[in-house]
Amino acid sequence: MDPDSGNPSSKTAVSFQPKRPVLSWCVKIKRKLKSVAPFLGRFRPMVGQCCHQCTPESLGLKLLCNTPPLGFQNLTCVNETHTGYRGWLVRRVCCLLFVWGREVHPSPAGNRRHRVHGSERVRQALETACSSDETKVVELVMPKVRGYLSRLLALTQTFISPSLLRIVSWMLLKFFSLMFWNVQINLNQLAALHRATRLKAPLVYVCVRQSGIDHALICLTLFCHNLRVPYTIYPAHVRQTWLRSILQRLGVVLLPEGTGSERDVEMDSLYSPVMTSFIGELLREGAALCVGITAARGHGGQWLARVHQAISDGLVPDVSIVPVGVSYDCLPRHFMRPQASVMSALRFVVSLLKGDHRGSVRIHFAQAFSLKEMCESGRCRVDGGRPLQELLLTAILNNRMGSIFNQKDVSWLLPPAVMPELPPADRQQTIALTLHLMYSSTTSMAVMSTSLVSCLLLHKHRRGVRVSVLCRDICWLLEEVLFRNTDVGFGGALVGLVHHALSLLRPYLLLAAAPPTGEPIIAPRPDPESLLTLSQHCHLLTHVFIHEAVGACAVSAMLSEVVGCGGGGDQEFDVVLGQEELTEKSLQLTHLLSPGYIPPCQNAHSFALDVVDSMVRCGVLVMEEVQKDSPACDFMKRQGVLSWAASDNPDQSSDSDCEEPDKHSYKLSQPSQCPELLFFLCSLLSVQLRALCWALESLHYLPTPITETDCLSQLHTHLKNRAQLDKAHYESSSIDLVGMALRTFIDLGVLTEDRQREDVYLDVSPLFSQCTYKEKLLQFFKQFITKREK
């Protein structure tokens, strides 16, 4: 189909030609659609309030409430009104005047190095390091230890230079104005931050790591609004001496020179005590911190433990934690590859000058809460959790559900090898805090227009959709997002929204014209890069709809059991789902979720009950009253024709099976959109579930035992080959999903760990070396994937 003439002679869709102007997208859309009212003229949800269970006193301060709406500000738009001066010359140097007029809180290093070196924690670590190897002469050990200690103490000399900070901030304003159309800031949230500074507690900003520019955006925002610029914890290797010197004068804490990865450095016996004392000294000086955490490997939690240690040691009475959510319309691909070449950097600079792919950014600062209150409230805790192997293996292999109602152990987020001096109670408290901040930072993020379009194209209209239908579904999805108290990072009319999103996603889409009207048809490109990029944009929406996605997969699993037992086919029948069975299915899938979907102050059983309620609210299920004379173990009814009753098999039944009927039973609703809605919600989690299936099927290709790094690399290769073989579902072969699958297999006991001094070796357990048990686990994963997605 020719996009312009509408000639249907060609059977394949013709992609958008780069030589044509981008406006042609807008012209095609505007010709087919009428103008509509702005989306957000009536409602904008309030996001970022702290947890009412863990921090009720902080919530009672109402830092975000009782204030008139101040609107939003584009951080990169600086004019003469921001300077206090007027005139022709001011308009040309207004950005420089604005930067030099900002208030900078000086933070000199002073004698910080001596204070850290003289701390009790560091002295004990030095004594342990020098006496750990009795076979070596002390004179030979001491120079090596002192040399490494000197490199560590050099990090404590990090400080913030006011002059250099102003120069770099001016450069960043110019740079981000080229990179993004705008950087939107909620002024009400910044006003709440100013009120939080009056509490006289140091502020610690916590965000989920996405790219290398997250911290730069956060620090620049705080600088432009006269808030204290934080010390940034950025554990990366910078080999250029001049660059390390500049970053250390901007308050960036890097890894020490000549060391390995972040994980290797954290296991060093000297690094942890020095950094703990360093963080304590910074907080005692009143400095702010900015920490990034990741759900994949638990990085960043150790820095939260060091902040908590400062309170325990009495260095500061309390610390205010501020979750931060940074959302991108279209993250520049250069910053997603930290080891990019010089040529790719030059291409990135050229694309900036040309103005290609300039998306928007929305930064949300959640309400500050007291760390001391959260730790003392006792609500945020993860102690008592059981390994995933104990929770699910009995249900998978023996169909026994008694153990699934417990909490899952996630101690791998802060393993004992990291900060071994940390008491067990403080370690569990830090893990709970890390989980809570993963959840809070993610829920504070705004859904961008590219996320809505990517989600619909990938999970609902994978084979293509007319623009008019796409716009209708965007309106529906937007209302659902706002209904779940999640903010969006855009406003305006529908036509402008669709045009903006499609322009940013144009390299990953196909455009064709539908005869005879010539209405544009949009479809995702069926290549790995395009599908992986679209899937990355959809990640936040999976968090927004996690209750409905888990519930839809649980309903699908129960329906597949019915069909597999003879109730399938094309016949129409009514299916009654018991609340207990539906809750159990939801619990099983809940335990497979990665950290960050559920706050630690909510147990898994409560989450599963909310999942069932959400299925009723979204219209997939309706509650049905069960007749008292009908046994509760009737799993399916079809007007008396097809019924599974306990009396059909009296020898295998027991009194407990039918004594107490379920309090509630649910039935599939029958509106026209119900099946499509069910498939859409199931598809949100099918990306992760399919990755688990593919990774499990590929385990027998690995030459075990194998190091964890090599296992991750080889599994990634196998998943990419599997996607190429199927020529579909490339989004399930990302490196992040491979890491998630590897972590799940270790927790389930599919892979056993052998921790040696150099590395961690993985091997397939004897139980899952048997095909029978491996097939049972595979079917357990597959039951949550609909046949449309398989």
Highest mean pLDDT among 334-338, 403-407, 598-602, 694-698: 694-698
Mean pLDDT of 728-753: 93
The DSSP call for residue 180 is: -
| Residue 662 reports pLDDT greater than 50 | no
Residue 206 or residue 330, greater confidence = 206
Q: How high is the pLDDT of residue 326?
A: 95
| Residue 103 reports pLDDT greater than 80 | yes
Per-residue CA distances from 45 to 72, 345, 599 (Å): 14, 39, 20
Query: Strand 252-253 to strand 231-233: parallel, antiparallel, or no bridges (unpaired)?
Result: parallel
Question: What pTM, to 2 d.p., does this model score?
Answer: 0.87
Residues in the chain: 790
| Residue 607 reports pLDDT greater than 70 | yes
Q: How high is the pLDDT of residue 755?
A: 81
Report residue 347's pLDDT band, with 50, 70 and 90 as the boundaries: low
Q: Which structure tokens are listed for 504?
A: 């940013």
Report residue 384's pLDDT band, with 50, 70 and 90 as the boundaries: confident
CA angle at residue 85 from 82 to 86, to 5 degrees?
Answer: 105
Report residue 2's pLDDT band, with 50, 70 and 90 as the boundaries: very low
pLDDT digits (tens, 9 = 90+) for 290-338: 999 987 777 889 999 999 999 999 999 999 999 999 999 987 665 554 4
| Residue 511 reports pLDDT greater than 70 | yes
| Residue 350 reports pLDDT greater than 90 | no
Lowest mean per-residue pLDDT among 98-112, 367-381, 431-445, 640-654: 640-654
Nearest to 249 by CA among 166, 338, 149, 171: 166
Q: Is 681 exposed, middle or buried (0-12, 13-18, 19+ CB in 10 A)?
A: buried
| Residue 492 reports pLDDT greater than 90 | no
Lowest mean per-residue pLDDT among 58-72, 196-210, 211-225: 58-72
d(C-alpha 636, C-alpha 577), whole Å: 8
Nearest to 298 by CA among 167, 462, 427: 427
Mean pLDDT of 662-667: 74
Phi and psi for 515 in degrees, rounded to 5? -75, 155
d(C-alpha 705, C-alpha 752), whole Å: 9
